[in-house]
Structures are given as C-alpha cells and as structure tokens.
Amino acid sequence: MNMEFNKLFAALLVAGIVAMLAGFTSSQVYHPKALKENAFPIEVAEAAAGAGAAAAAPAGPEPIEDLMAAADIAHGEKLAKVCAACHTFDNGGPARVGPNLHGIIGSKHAHMAGFAYSDAMKAKAGETWTREAINEFLWNPKKAIAGTKMVYAGMKKPEDRAAIVKYLESLK
C-alpha cells in the first residue's frame, strides 16, 4: 500500500512540474516582454515611413483630363458593366439600386425624380456632375460625398476612370 501511495504522489508531483514548466514556457512564447529599444535600429525606414505615409494615401484622385483624348468608349462601356448591377444606362431607363446614368455628365446631382437619394446627395442637388466630379466620385464615392448610399469601394486606375467618363459622355 505504501508503494502505491509513493507512485501516486510521484505522478502528481511530475504532473505539477510539467504543468508549471508548460505555463512558464507558454508565457514566454505567447506573452513576450516589450524591449526598451529596438535590437536593430532602423532609422532610415522610420524616416521614410513618415515621409511615405502621406504619399501612400493620396488626398484625391489623379486628374484624368490628359487621359480623356486617349480614352476608349468601348473600354469604358465594358468597365461600366460592373456598374450595371445597380444602374441602367439607356435613355429613360428605370432606377435600380442606383439611379439611371444616361446623360449624367452635365446634369445635376440627385437628378432622377422619384429616386431615394441619400441626404448627402440631396445636399449637393444644385451642383453639376462634371468630368472632375465623376472622376472623384468613381475614385472613392464615400470620400467624394460622405454619407452616400453607394457601397462601391472605388476605381483606382485613372485610365479606367477616364474610359468610364468618356463612355458616360457618349450617353446623350
């Protein structure tokens, strides 16, 4: 009986030691202590990151005026097929999730009667959709008109935006 007790006690002792070592090891692996200073200081990268952070996030879209001469209407129509999920482009076409875009360039914001525009778009109802305004809106709708209902993330390539603007201009 005494021998069985010793075996049981030894097993509990070993299990406790293993658990304690596992806890210590995991705390070292998963909860590392922060260094007071970097082991390898990278001064050049930090300076570049500070200067490059502003350049990485442009304040607005690149102008497309120079690209308009070379913009291809057919390419713009092809790119606009993504927009066709929410918009129609034919003359007198109905609204879908978004308004009809036939003749949008030169018309006023919130131009389609009876469409449920966001308050942000209604606030711009007196402004005209110009090439520049469409370019900015296509680049980042939420930034161009904060509060818009449009959920599109935006088109980053200026050549693609120019092609879509050229296509939209052809819809008269």
Measure the CA dihedral 39/42/47/51, to 10°: -110
What residues pair up with 128 in beta bridges, in sequence order? 108
SS3 label, residue 128: strand
Q: One digit per residue, pLDDT tens: the chain, 172 residues? A: 788 889 999 999 999 999 999 988 887 777 667 777 766 666 554 444 455 555 555 678 999 999 999 999 999 999 999 999 999 999 999 999 999 999 999 999 999 999 999 999 999 999 999 999 999 999 999 999 999 999 888 999 999 999 999 999 999 8
Find, among 100, 136, 154, the residue nearest to 110 by Cα: 100
Counted residue by residue, the chain has a size of: 172
Q: How far apart are CA 38 and CA 155, in angstroms?
A: 39
Instruction: Sketch out the chain's domains with CATH numbers.
Output: 2-56 (no CATH), 65-170 (1.10.760.10)
In which region does residue 83 sit, left (phi positive, over 0), alpha (psi from -120 to 50) or beta (all else)? alpha
